[in-house]
Copies of this chain bind each other. A is one copy, B any other.
Amino acid sequence: MKETVIKMDKKVKLNKPILIVGLPGIGSVGKLVAGHLIKEFKAKRFAMLYSPHFPHQVVMRSDGGIRLVSNRFYVIKAQKRGGSDLVLLTGDVQAVTPEGQYQVNSKIVDFFKKELGGKFIYTVGGYSIGQGVVSRPRVFGNTTRTKVISQFRDSNILFGQSKGLIWGSAGLILAFAKMSGIDGICLMGETSFLEVDASAAKAVLTVLAKKLELKVDMTGMDAKITKAATAIHAFEQQVATGFGGASGPAGNEASHPTYIR
């Protein structure tokens, strides 16, 4: 395998599709958002993306099978007649090198534009402020063109207040969209250095749901937030009381990935 490939499981016919990209990144915000929507709306997977620029890994499935790491496209058909279908892109990994990032992300935009006839792209990421816990995460936005900002008035998105660099798919997909004449926005949930930040993801989901007129059940996401808060609280108690030990604090069930070769 020398080139990035996108394999469609079946020919889908989409109406004015909107793409929502939620790949691994800071705080796992993008991946949480995409995963939640896929689960809540029982989105159907219709295409797989494999790339030699991804890590050389295979995932062991709990049923004893395997699968190559990938990015995956899902669809949620429009709930209103004539409305836009939602395409979700999520996955295990992003490309490892700059060259790989440029190739994979330009391929994604090409596919969305030419194969799916796509019209608008949301990318989702975490915006790291590099400080302690964020109690009420804000949502920052950057768009392909400043003209696009006006479509997001009254959306609780802060524009022009995020600074610095967007790394990886969340940025490059927007950049290639802009070059291809497609508009889009990057939504960033404010996060500190948590590995998985469900609060930031919920903040973005709330904004997205309103804009896309989706009724999203947040129960599952709230459970994740509560679980993390409980773990942090227990940990702080432990530190305060001087109690410590080999076993982790309640709720902090870290996953220990096993690597074989």
Contacts and interface: CB of A to CB of B under 8 A. Distances in A.
A162 B59 CA distance: 10
Interface stretch (A224-232, A236-244, A251-259): A251-259
Interface stretch (A73-81, A111-119, A171-179): A171-179
Contacts of A1: 102-103, 106, 176
Contacts of A56: 95, 98, 101-102, 105, 167-168, 171-172
Interface stretch (A12-20, A39-47, A123-131, A203-211): A123-131
A146 to B, nearest CB: 5
A145 interface: yes
A215 interface: no
A130 B256 contact: yes
A98 B96 CA distance: 8
Interface in A79-137: 94-96, 98-103, 105-106, 125-130
A260 interface: yes
Interface string A1-34: 1100000000000000000000001100000000
A68 B259 contact: no
Contact of A258 (B51, B55, B130, B174): B130
Nearest to A65: B146
A165 B171 CA distance: 28
A149 interface: yes
A64 B186 CA distance: 10
Question: Which interface residue of A56, A144, A257 has the most chain B CB atoms within 10 A?
Answer: A56
Contact of A128 (B143, B188, B259): B259
A155 interface: no
B260 A26 contact: yes
Interface of A: 1-2, 25-26, 51-68, 94-96, 98-103, 105-106, 125-130, 141-146, 149, 159-160, 162-172, 174-176, 178-179, 186, 188, 256-261
